Chains A and B, each alone.
Chain A
């Protein structure tokens, strides 16, 4: 059963990616104002949504690690692996957002970057999680995981600020696609369908990569455990 799922899920994800691409390029119409360039939305918005979701997974993992680190070290390690996987894959998706956004901005606004609230808070979010990954990469010792968990929790606090930024402040960035006021969002159902298909496709892709990253981290923990055991044996 597990083996079938391991083959079936990637296959469904690839089919969804192809279908999403077809919807974005060949089915959805050009935007009335922006024209063809608007199609960047079908990769930009799903990437942002998946990044937010994975930073939330990192938050839950970080809280889990801090909760269980004394009472149940085995559970704490599992939570820590999810926290790391969520943060790292979230950074990958956030990088996509921060590269596709300026490409779109260059054509739509005539500039690559502007320091408006949405763009700046997103960049700060990316920097926080990059520092989280650097901390995990270069710090050593038993305190590293605790410090990383605390940073992961503080980093996640920026997610609602990014999400609400174009509601709270006047920004050059467009109004929200979903959950905005009456004038914002997509009016054409074909565009909405194309966006939803791409969201589903990128969500499945993200889950696949997240699961892989989690497995790699669990392997790493297993290796570190064996190494610690070996050090103890040689010391005795």
Chain B
């Protein structure tokens, strides 16, 4: 594999990795937010009763 090909592979790998990092980081943040909203809603509804 020549130098041009190696660089191309590295750039494609970087683009694919960054895509997944962004998507999975957002999904993880959403999971944390979901848990905290669920907990808040449950606590509040318990307090109202």
Q: Interface residues, chain A, CB within 8 Å of chain B?
A: 21, 35-37, 39-40, 43-44, 47, 89, 92, 95-96, 99-100, 103-104, 106-107, 205, 209, 212-213, 215-216, 219-220, 222-223, 226-227, 229-230, 233
10 residue pairs, one from A and one from B, having the closest CB atoms: A36-B8, A219-B37, A226-B44, A37-B8, A100-B15, A223-B41, A103-B15, A40-B15, A92-B26, A223-B40
Question: CA of A103 to CA of B19 in the docked complex: distance in angstroms?
Answer: 11
Q: B33 touching A104 by the CB < 8 A rule? A: no
Q: B15 touching A36 by the CB < 8 A rule? A: no
Given contacts A107-B7, A229-B48, 7 further A-B pairs with CB under 8 A are: A40-B16, A44-B15, A92-B23, A92-B26, A209-B27, A209-B30, A220-B37
Q: B19 contacts which of A100, A209, A212, A220 (Cβ < 8 Å)?
A: A100
Q: Which of B27-48 contact A (CB under 8 A)?
A: 27, 30, 33-34, 37-38, 40-41, 44-45, 47-48
Q: A107 touching B8 by the CB < 8 A rule? A: yes
Most chain A CB atoms below 10 A, which of B26, B38, B48: B26
Q: Interface residues, chain B, CB within 8 Å of chain A?
A: 4-5, 7-9, 11-12, 14-16, 18-19, 22-23, 26-27, 30, 33-34, 37-38, 40-41, 44-45, 47-48
Chain B residues with CB under 8 A of A35: 4-5, 8
- Min CB gap B4→A, angstroms: 7
Which single residue of chain A is at the shortest CB-CB distance from B34?
A216
Q: A216-B33, A226-B48 given as contacts; is B11 within 8 A of A96 (CB)?
A: no
- Min CB gap B34→A, angstroms: 5
Question: CA of A230 to CA of B45 in the docked complex: distance in angstroms?
Answer: 10
Question: CA of A216 to CA of B26 in the docked complex: distance in angstroms?
Answer: 13
Which single residue of chain B is at the shortest CB-CB distance from A106?
B11
Q: B14 contacts which of A96, A103, A213, A227 (Cβ < 8 Å)?
A: A103
Q: A92-B26, A213-B30 given as contacts; is B9 within 8 A of A104 (CB)?
A: no
Contacts across chains A and B counted by CB atoms under 8 Å: 81
Question: CA of A175 to CA of B9 in the docked complex: distance in angstroms?
Answer: 24
What secondary structure prevails in chain A residues at the interface with B? helix
What secondary structure prevails in chain B residues at the interface with A? helix
Q: B37 contacts which of A43, A216, A227 (Cβ < 8 Å)?
A: A216
Q: A92-B23, A223-B41 given as contacts; is B11 within 8 A of A104 (CB)?
A: yes
Chain B residues with CB under 8 A of A227: 44
Q: A95 touching B22 by the CB < 8 A rule? A: yes
Question: CA of A40 to CA of B11 in the docked complex: distance in angstroms?
Answer: 9
Chain A residues with CB under 8 A of B12: 36-37, 39-40
- Min CB gap B47→A, angstroms: 7
Q: A40-B11, A107-B8, A213-B30 given as contacts; is B41 within 8 A of A219 (CB)?
A: yes
